[in-house]
């Protein structure tokens, strides 16, 4: 008994009085495969870049532009017509024609058709009058014409504003985190969101208006807020384990994104036939938010996790 008591006392003497509590984090599925997961967004981004390069080679631009960016005529005729038939019948007489319907919000009844073409206003009016068989005036139609020079200037200014916004965003991110890899991950995710969104727009055959470019500008803000939330949580190393910090950021970030997607989806359903400007803004944002989920919670998370583990390994040495 005395020998046992002496052995116990020696063991207690060897145990430090204030041993620091160590948080052990077992390896889960994500810990084993987060680097492999980077292949998915990397391949998608590569495909998007190659597609945009080919598209630019064929069209001399990275997306199709509507008349607000190329110049042309927009004619609204207050009548009921089959827009597909109108487009087919007038495609040989009007340059680059596109048509859409305007519906009543309550009854969902067709109220008018909108015809957009690069042809000048006078010629467009004459062709439509011959096709419809009656004279068009302020009581049954409206015409808007935008010159090509003005549209090109406006387009260049929008692109410059987009570039400027991206550069200032990058500067703010670097100032905020003052660390190369986390800052690069945020900026890279925003860049990937824009590239993939433009890829989807071209793939769907959408014609971008000035409203669409404004939506891409807004997308930078939507992308960066979840990335900053994620990066801020990961860099707070004193708060819980890395996986718990990532999980907390994921729950908050996904709640934000899914709420935005639901709101935008409902709004798009309401305005899709009433306002093409709002409809395009909402469509571009929805596409961008879906890609943002991929780039934030796979690309950015994987880069940050890789960075955090590398830093912990260096500090351990």
Q: pLDDT per residue over 250-263, tens digit each?
A: 999 999 999 999 99
Q: pLDDT per residue over 143-156, tens digit each?
A: 888 877 777 888 88
Tell me the C-alpha distance between 207 and 309, whole Å.
44
Q: What confidence score (pLDDT) does residue 172 get? A: 92
Is the pLDDT assigned to residue 117 strictly greater than 60?
yes
Is the pLDDT assigned to residue 302 strictly greater than 80?
yes
Q: How many CB atoms lie within 10 A of CB 109?
A: 9
Tell me the C-alpha distance between 209 and 262, whole Å.
24
Provide the sign of the torsion angle of the four alpha carbons 19, 21, 27, 32, taken in this order: negative
- Structure token digits, residue 72: 């042309």
- Structure token digits, residue 30: 């994500």
Is the pLDDT assigned to residue 7 strictly greater than 60?
no
For the chain, the structural domain boundaries read: 36-62+149-316, 72-146
Binned at pLDDT 50, 70 and 90, residue 268 comes out as very high
For residue 286, list its beta bridge partners: none
What is the arithmetic mean of pLDDT over 165-181? 90
Binned at pLDDT 50, 70 and 90, residue 102 comes out as confident
What fold characterizes domain 36-62+149-316?
Answer: Multidrug efflux transporter AcrB transmembrane fold (1.20.1640)
Q: What confidence score (pLDDT) does residue 24 get? A: 44
What is the arithmetic mean of pLDDT over 223-230? 89
Q: What confidence score (pLDDT) does residue 238 get? A: 65
How would DSSP label each residue in 70-91?
H-EEEEEE-S---HHHHHHHHT
Q: What confidence score (pLDDT) does residue 58 get? A: 92
The segment with the largest mean pLDDT, out of 48-52, 61-65, 225-229, 232-236, is 48-52
Q: How many CA atoms lie within 13 A of 56 on its CB side?
A: 10
Kindly report which listed range (20-24, 107-111, 299-303) carries the lowest average pLDDT score: 20-24
CATH of 72-146, one of 3.30.70, 3.40.50, 3.30.2010, 1.10.8: 3.30.70
Kindly report which listed range (18-27, 147-156, 205-214, 229-238) carries the lowest average pLDDT score: 18-27
Is the pLDDT assigned to residue 246 strictly greater than 50?
yes
The mean of the pLDDT values for the chain is 84
- Structure token digits, residue 136: 């068009």
């Amino acid at each position: 008994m005395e020998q046992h008591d002496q052995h116990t006392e020696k063991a207690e003497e060897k145990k430090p009085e204030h041993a620091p509590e160590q948080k052990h984090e077992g390896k889960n599925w994500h810990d084993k495969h987060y680097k492999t997961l980077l292949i998915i967004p990397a391949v998608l981004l590569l495909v998007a870049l190659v597609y945009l390069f080919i598209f630019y080679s064929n069209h001399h631009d990275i997306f199709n532009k509507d008349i607000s960016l190329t110049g042309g005529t927009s004619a609204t005729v207050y009548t009921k017509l089959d827009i597909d038939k109108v487009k087919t019948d007038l495609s040989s007489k009007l340059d680059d024609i596109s048509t859409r319907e305007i519906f009543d919000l309550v009854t969902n009844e067709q109220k008018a058709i909108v015809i957009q073409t690069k042809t000048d206003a006078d010629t467009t009016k004459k062709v439509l009058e011959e096709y419809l068989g009656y004279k068009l005036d302020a009581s049954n139609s409206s015409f808007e014409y935008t010159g090509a020079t003005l549209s090109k200037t406006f387009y260049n200014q929008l692109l410059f504003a987009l570039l400027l916004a991206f550069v200032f965003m990058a500067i703010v991110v670097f100032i905020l985190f003052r660390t190369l890899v986390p800052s690069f991950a945020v900026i890279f995710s925003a860049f990937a969101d824009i590239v993939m969104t433009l890829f989807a727009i071209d793939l769907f055959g959408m014609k971008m208006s000035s409203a669409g470019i404004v939506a891409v500008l807004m997308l930078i803000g939507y992308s960066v807020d979840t990335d900053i939330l994620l990066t801020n949580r990961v860099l707070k190393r004193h708060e819980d384990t890395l996986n718990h910090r990532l999980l907390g950021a994921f729950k908050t970030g996904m709640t934000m994104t899914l709420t935005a997607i639901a709101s935008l989806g409902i709004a798009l359903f309401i305005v899709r036939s009433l306002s093409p400007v709002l409809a395009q803004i909402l469509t571009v944002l929805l596409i961008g938010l879906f890609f943002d989920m991929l780039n934030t919670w796979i690309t950015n998370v994987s880069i940050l996790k890789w960075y955090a583990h590398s830093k912990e390994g260096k500090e351990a040495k």
